[in-house]
Amino acid sequence: MMSFLERQFKISERGSSVKTEILSGITTFVTMSYIIFVNPGILSKTGMDFNALVVATCISSALATFLMAFLANYPIGLAPGMGLNAFFAFSVVLGMQIDWRVALTAVFIEGVIFILLTLTRLREMVVNTIPKSLKIGISGGIGLFIAFIGLQGAGIVVKNDATLVSLGHLRGNLPALLALGGLILMAVLEAYKVTGALLIGILAVTAAAVGLNLSALPESFVSHPPSIAPIFAQFDFSMLNRLDFWVIMFTFFFVDFFDTVGTLVGVCNRSGLLDENGTLPNARGALLADAIGTTAGALLGTSTVTSYVESASGIAQGGRTGLSALVTAVLFLAAMFFTPIVGIVPAYATAPALVIVGVYMMMSLRDLNFNDWTELAPSILGFIMMPLAYSISIGIEFAIVSYVLIKILSGRMKDVSWLMAVLAVIFIVKEALS
């Protein structure tokens, strides 16, 4: 078995070990596991069956992550995307009064188009055409973004109508205090270079939550997965002749395309998987896993499946190969039978892990050339816009458009590839029409 794993995933070649990869996969799963409950909670507001959505979420996540392991050999987990599921439920179904079956059809068609584009290598070209400086900024921006998400999830940063965000009320707020304690514990363990620091921190906060009666132990640890029949293959093609349908499909397509590009670039830059030219080897396999995952996810009955930035938590634990993703995939399948156990891990236990991972990813900024403003300014703009716009794709838009404009206006048009120029025009037109 060890020999097979070594041949399949090239573990030693990437400077890792089976133990490290398994620990990485567990950490990624624990950090991502909130989606098992959050995704059904959002999509069920459309009238879809909650219990069926739990199973669809687990199976689609496992399938796409399994494909990532074997097609790309990357330690990246996939699942129905946050933001995309909210757009599906609140904007399309509830806002536009579109039946959820029609929305699933749009997601399915988006996935099929993605598969075709990936086979033609167009998506791979986009990933590898983005300049290295922008990849650094994107990586750091995703780090700042997920650190912000972590602080929000812990209740440390909250909404403020006057200043947009502010410090939450900490006095007597046990979840926020436990999250802060977990953050300090993880940082100290990282300082001592303890293997599994993030997972230890997550489990410690969860244990403290149970001890303080903030999180209750389940009555049973095993449950039988419910049927997905109510949402399986529930497509409705009746709106294909309407413009609204194609606007919806394009929105799913656009956000998923660039969220995935940003995530792959960000986490692979952090893990050292980009080559010396800043390109992503075997990007095609990674993008194909994402595309097939989206198509299969729609068939199973869930919104767009995409690569998860939370995968960086496992990478921070040393994950470098697809074995880490394989472990994550297996745990998603097992979660269908052990949802009561997964459910006791509160959001404020995984939140500090996101902050630590964010710090790790922001370390990439040290590789920027601070003496070249045509490279520095676009990278930092993308870095800042991701958390402020609450969108990876918006951050990429600002980075690419500003890069092209600054290069041209600085007399360095030769640095701009034709594909970067085309992308900049597409982004400008998109924002002008939105």
pLDDT in tens, the chain (434 residues): 667 777 788 888 878 888 888 998 998 888 888 788 778 878 888 999 988 998 999 999 999 999 999 998 888 899 998 767 877 887 788 877 889 999 999 999 989 998 988 888 776 677 677 787 887 888 788 788 878 888 988 899 999 989 999 998 888 899 999 999 999 999 999 898 776 677 788 889 999 999 998 888 877 778 888 889 999 999 999 888 887 788 778 777 766 776 677 777 777 766 666 666 666 677 788 889 989 999 999 999 998 898 887 787 788 888 888 899 999 999 999 988 887 776 677 878 888 888 887 887 788 788 888 999 999 999 999 999 988 888 777 888 899 999 999 999 999 999 998 888 988 998 898 788 76
Domain boundary among 296, 325, 340: 340
| Of 280, 273, 350, 200, nearest in space to 16 by CA | 273
- Kindly state whether residues 334 and 392 are assigned to the same domain: no
- Kindly state whether residues 260 and 405 are assigned to the same domain: no
Q: Is residue 181 part of a domain?
A: no
- Kindly state whether residues 265 and 401 are assigned to the same domain: no
pTM of the model: 0.72
Q: Which residues contact 313 (CB under 8 A, 6 or more apart)?
A: 27, 28, 31, 198, 353, 354, 356, 357
Which structural domain, as residue segments, surrounds residue 391?
A: 368-434
**CA atoms within 13 A of residue 380's CA, in its CB half-sphere:** 10
The pLDDT of residue 44 is: 87
Q: Is residue 356 part of a domain?
A: no
Q: Is residue 142 part of a domain?
A: no
What total number of domains does the chain contain? 2
- Kindly state whether residues 112 and 249 are assigned to the same domain: yes
Q: Which two tokens stand for residue 339?
A: 């949802």
- Kindly state whether residues 283 and 378 are assigned to the same domain: no
Q: Is residue 179 part of a domain?
A: no
- Phi, psi (deg, nearest 5) at residue 50: -60, -50
- Kindly state whether residues 379 and 267 are assigned to the same domain: no
- Kindly state whether residues 69 and 19 are assigned to the same domain: yes
**Positive or negative: CA dihedral 291, 293, 298, 303:** negative
- Kindly state whether residues 127 and 20 are assigned to the same domain: yes
- Kindly state whether residues 231 and 331 are assigned to the same domain: yes
| Of 79, 107, 81, nearest in space to 92 by CA | 107
- Kindly state whether residues 285 and 400 are assigned to the same domain: no
Q: Is residue 153 part of a domain?
A: no
Largest CA distance in the chain: 68
- Phi, psi (deg, nearest 5) at residue 302: -135, 165
- Kindly state whether residues 328 and 413 are assigned to the same domain: no
The b/e string for 81-94 (b: 16+ C-beta within 10 A; e otherwise) is: bbbbbbbbbeebbe
Q: Is residue 27 part of a domain?
A: yes
Q: Is residue 138 part of a domain?
A: no
- Kindly state whether residues 325 and 388 are assigned to the same domain: no
- H helix runs in 228-372, sequence order: 243-271, 283-300, 311-316, 322-335, 339-342, 347-362
SS3 266: helix
Q: Is residue 209 part of a domain?
A: no
Domain boundary among 340, 357, 389: 340
Domain boundary among 291, 321, 340: 340
Q: Residue 41: what residue type?
A: G
Place of tokens 């990624």: 28
The pLDDT of residue 276 is: 65
